[in-house]
Amino acid sequence: MTPGSNEPKSRYLQYLEVVTGSLEEKRRYRQYKARIKRLPENYRTAVEALERYLMHFGPADGAGAMSMYEDLADLFEQSAADGTPIRDIFGEDPVEFVEAFMANYPVGQYRARERNRFTSAIERAAGEDTGRQDRTV
C-alpha cells in the first residue's frame, strides 16, 4: 500500500467512501491512467485493448485490480523503454498472455460467487454435503 494509507480515516471520509467507493483506489487508478497516457501511441493502443478485456473478465474492482493495473503499467513502460516490439510482448496468441497475466489477481466478485456456487453444487451432487452454505463473497 502507499504511505499514509494506515492513517485513520475521518468519519466524513468513511461516509463519503460508502457512497463513492474507495478514494485511495480512485487516486491509484488516475495515476495509472496518467502513466498509460505517456506511453508511445502503439503501446497505448495495446494497453487500452487489454484494459477492455480486463474490464470484462478481470477482477471487478478493489485493491487487487489496482495492483493489476500498476503491474501492467510497469510492463509497458519497461517495454517502451527497451523498444520491445508489440508482437514480442504479446506473442502469437494475445489471449493466452492476458489470461496468464489475469490469473495472478483475485477473481472478481461475480466469478468468485459462481465458482463457490458451482463447487458446492458438485459437492451436494456427489453426496458430500458438509453442511457448508454457499459462500457469497
Partner 1 sequence: MGKQVTEMLKGTLEGIVLAILSGRPAYGYEITAWLREQGFSDIAEGTVYALLVRIEQRGLVDVEKVPSEKGPPRKVYSLNAQGREYLEEFWRTWSFLAERLEQLREGGKHT
Q: Which residues of 16-44 are buried (b: 16+ CB within 10 A; e: fewer)?
A: eeeeeeeebeeebbeebeebbeebeeebe
Query: In the set 41, 92, 127, 133, which binds partner 1 (CB under 8 A)?
Result: 92
d(CA 129, CA 137): 20
The three three-digit cell numbers of residue 12, written as one number? 466524513
- Residue 53 interacts with partner 1 (CB under 8 A): yes or no: no
The three three-digit cell numbers of residue 94, written as one number? 494475445
Q: Is the dihedral angle over the CA atoms 112, 115, 119, 120 positive or is it negative?
A: positive
Nearest distance, CB of residue 92 and partner 1, angstroms = 6
| Listed ranges 5-13, 51-59, 73-81, 125-133: which one lies at the site for partner 1 (CB under 8 A) | 73-81
The three three-digit cell numbers of residue 97, written as one number? 498472455
Cβ proximity to partner 1, 75 vs 112, nearer residue: 75
Residues in binding contact with partner 1, number by CB under 8 A: 21
Nearest distance, CB of residue 94 and partner 1, angstroms = 8
Interface with partner 1 by CB under 8 A: which residues? 71, 74-75, 77-82, 84, 88-92, 96-97, 100-101, 103-104
